[in-house]
Structure 1
Amino acid sequence: MPDLTFTYSNRPFSAIITIVIGLALAAVFAWFAIAEDNPEFDLFGGTLTGWQATTLIWLIVALMLVIAGLGLRILIGFRRNVREVSLGPTALRAPKVPLSRRMVTVPYEQITDIARQRIFRDTILVISHTGGEIRIPRLYLPSADAFTQIESELMTRWAAARRT
């Protein structure tokens, strides 16, 4: 059986949206903290005023900046991190989850189940094995044909490994 390798396509849109939303919310809350002389903040039935409200607002600004930073880190990671699904003669090699840098190698005989899972508008191939699960989303592959080819070839190789 020949090796089959499919490189994941990067989907930077979600990282860019995370950066934009994080920075926008940080700017709005920072403006609110600076512009208000005596801010009030209603929280779980109580009201924070003065320095307590200002402190909470600046903590929210810091949290939004951290979220934007994580989005930026993911965006930069796309450039450095090449992820792929590889079907070798004896084992499957793929990232445990789509954004992970850590590749997992699973011999076909250790696979216990292969199933399709539908989440929102994406179809995910869930490969259960003795050490956990690997998820291969259709959206991260170059085409729907690549997803179908991986699924059928994986089923064939898994069936052959169980017969031996």
Structure 2
Amino acid sequence: MSDTLSIGAETLAYDLVGDGPLVVLAHGMGDSRRSYRFLVPGLVAAGYRVANVDVRGCGESSTGWTGYSRTDIAGDLVALVRHLGGPAVVVGQSISGGAATIAAADAPDVITGVVELAPFTARSRRTSAVSSVPRPTGRPPCSSPACSSPAASPAG
């Protein structure tokens, strides 16, 4: 069933199907909720209620938003989960992956889990603790034969 959620003067379009724990699917920028069309039936068959949303500015959602940042999208995801009665696990791809993580940090009462698919997130700054962790040298980072060539090793 296709529906909309009003947020201020704008709207988010989404489909809601199934019964059970809520999973919200949020696609990457420039895409639409159709990107999850093959995933939705499997989640419903597994016993989930699935909200598949067109993020702001995409698909059938309105295009007059004043911002399109990960934080803006995170607010939309929280609003949708609250509107649907939450809690939910949010699956986000690209910019929506980062938005899902922000949403979970901002509203842990309604976002109980996050799945990031090729997330677009800000470059993190290393803390001194992380920077001081020794890095392996002189050996490949995996045990696959493909990793054992000199070109694949960290020193090579």
Greater share of helix: 1
- Asked whether the two chains share a fold, i.e. TM above 0.5, the reply is no
TM-score, structure 2 normalization: 0.23
TM-score, structure 1 normalization: 0.22
Higher relative contact order (CA 8 A, sep 6+): 1
Larger radius of gyration: 1
Greater share of strand: 1
